[in-house]
Structure 1
Amino acid sequence: MDPCTYKCYHTHDHDSRKFLEDYFSDNPEMAFKENSLIFPIQNLTRVFAAGHIKGDILLDLSIGSLVHHLYSACECFKDIIVLKDKDRCILELKRWVDKRTGAFHWGHAAKLHVDLEGKSHELEDKEVKVRSAIQHVLKCNFENKNMIEPIVLPPADCIISFGLLEAISKGQDDYIRYLRKFSRLLKPGGHFILFGCLGMTYITVGKEKFHILSYDEEFARKALEGEDFIIDDCKVQKRTAVSDLTDYEGIIFIVAHKEK
């Protein structure tokens, strides 16, 4: 397929459930477990356990209807506010939060978290805590100056962004522009936690391929530093999956804080 025919994540709809099933499920045939589930959960558990990142508000700006990256965070923040630009993603996430019939099953991710924390007996409590912490799931528009106008959010203590910046950016200038918008939602001294796919040009959801901005570790670091972030932690894991659904080369995890 010619890359110019790829769809764009933020202008075309996608099958939110198919995306979760192919990249984040507990299906034995799901090829991405090591990169999309284990690597993020291990690093988030480690970082939040240190106790340095905490506060009142955590803002989540991530691709799809992901939940697994919020399990460790719910122990450190009173409220989690999730921003989505897709109605289908909002409905998918709210179905899980409200424990509706047919919601996507995230129990495998919860188990990974509690096992790493050495609290396997708290599996059910972990699910309850995450659901309780997600106070709001709000519709946003990445092109607006205030992405959730007319609502004005209080500055966040921390932002987590999982795979979104490269999905909504056509080029590197877009990536930096959106990163700047996201960072304006953060308190001075607040933390930004970034997960991204390195060297990735497309992702397949159902029968459709979506454009993804390809970048490397150096670009990600410079983009954050250019917005006055100080990088505290950075880990990269090479691709382990064997699949033609997507072509990423590795996963990057960065923790940075905003200069006061």
Structure 2
Amino acid sequence: GRGGGSVINSGLAPAAAPGQAALREGYEHFDPRAYLRNNYLPPRADFSSEEFVVPWKLRCLAETFASGEIQGRTLIDVGSGPTIYQLLSACDHFEEIVATDFLAVNREELGRWVRGEPGAFDWSPFIQHVCKIEGRGEPWQDKQRRLRQRLRRILPIDVHRAEPLGAPLRPRADALLSAFCLEAVSPDRASFVRALSHVGTLLRPGGHAVLLGALGESFYLAGPARLPVVPLQEADVREALAAAGFALRELRSYAMPPALRTGVDDVDGVFFAHAQKPVGMGR
């Protein structure tokens, strides 16, 4: 996802950080179709080699969910953007998936795919690839059907509010997933840590968090929108998770090869993190 989280401040400081105002402005022009073209068609979505970025992301997710440790009733995806690839391995382990995004255009794009409407983005190459790497010999149509059945709610979210969904999630989610959202809606690292803490409240103590995000990225394009991103290094991700009260289980990173540096952003790489909310944490 991207265009996730939010771009409206909590309302506590009306003149909030100029960074937030710039973000809010940028996301008004966010074009989901341009974003999908830039990131989820070739060259980035090339399945001919595991060395490409999309297969790398899908493999991280497949391997992490294959352990069977991350499962339960509900998984919440924070800042889904217009994408569903991040849910393909997760969907087998939860009864319900809650997708969320700040932007109505992204929620509409997701709804079109869930309903199988003509003109929805074609995720079938992604679903086929995930079925292949999971190696269960499952027809990809079965996985597509399962995800559509389990993706029951697509909700508005604002990760800069202490209550990101506007009300507590009851019961809290057993797992939280977030892909390319928090760093893309935070003007600085402190704001990234706060957003992580806010979304952490949606997760039950003992619950797992799986994050994908950009490393060393300062902007990305989505049609007419040029959106600022807080550039993170691996160390920043470790520190932010610790500061937000998560115990890091695994951190992997991917260096973007020159052929995939297409000018739609200035990303250096991608991080994948698996963390857990300690059981002793009341919030």
Length-normalised TM-score, structure 2: 0.84
Look up the match of 1:138.
155
**Structure 2, gaps ≥5 residues long:** 1-18
CA distance in 1, matches of 2:156, 2:191: 20
CA distance in 2, matches of 1:247, 1:169: 17
Cα shift at 1:243: 1.0
Task: Pick one of 240, 243, 248 that aligns with 2:267.
Answer: 248
Q: Does 1:239 align with 2:259?
A: no
What is the one-letter code of the residue matched to 1:108?
A: P
CA distance in 2, matches of 1:242, 1:143: 30
Q: Does 1:259 align with 2:278?
A: yes
- Whether the 8 Å contact between 1:31 and 1:242 is mirrored in structure 2 is no
Would the alpha carbon gap of residues 51 and 208 (structure 1) be closer, same or farther in structure 2, given more than 3 Å must change?
same
Look up the match of 1:12.
28
What is the one-letter code of the residue matched to 2:59?
A: Q
RMSD between superposed Cα atoms in Å: 1.9
Runs of 4+ in 1 over 6 A off after TM superposition: none
What is the one-letter code of the residue matched to 1:8?
A: L
Look up the match of 1:46.
63
| Number of residue pairs the alignment of both structures matches | 253
CA distance in 1, matches of 2:161, 2:22: 21
**Structure 1, gaps ≥5 residues long:** none
Would the alpha carbon gap of residues 189 and 204 (structure 1) be closer, same or farther in structure 2, given more than 3 Å must change?
same
Map 1:188-227 onto structure 2 (within 5 A).
188-227=205-244
Cα shift at 1:12: 2.6
Q: Does 1:94 align with 2:123?
A: no
CA deviations 1:229-252 (Å, max 9, x no partner) are 111111111002131111111110
Structure 2 counterpart SS, 1:93 = helix
Would the alpha carbon gap of residues 193 and 251 (structure 1) be closer, same or farther in structure 2, given more than 3 Å must change?
same
Look up the match of 1:129.
146
Would the alpha carbon gap of residues 11 and 121 (structure 1) be closer, same or farther in structure 2, given more than 3 Å must change?
closer
CA distance in 2, matches of 1:68, 1:193: 14
Look up the match of 1:37.
54
Would the alpha carbon gap of residues 201 and 63 (structure 1) be closer, same or farther in structure 2, given more than 3 Å must change?
farther
Aligned identity (percent) is: 26
Look up the match of 1:172.
189
CA distance in 1, matches of 2:159, 2:75: 18
CA distance in 1, matches of 2:52, 2:183: 17
Structure 1 counterpart SS, 2:56 = helix
- Whether the 8 Å contact between 1:16 and 1:89 is mirrored in structure 2 is yes
Look up the match of 2:40.
24
CA deviations 1:79-130 (Å, max 9, x no partner) are 0001111000010000000111110100011011000011344211010011
CA distance in 2, matches of 1:174, 1:155: 23
CA distance in 2, matches of 1:31, 1:155: 35
Structure 1 counterpart SS, 2:28 = coil
Length-normalised TM-score, structure 1: 0.91
- Whether the 8 Å contact between 1:23 and 1:32 is mirrored in structure 2 is yes
Would the alpha carbon gap of residues 65 and 153 (structure 1) be closer, same or farther in structure 2, given more than 3 Å must change?
farther
Cα shift at 1:255: 0.2
- Whether the 8 Å contact between 1:15 and 1:206 is mirrored in structure 2 is yes
Cα shift at 1:35: 5.2
Cα shift at 1:32: 5.5
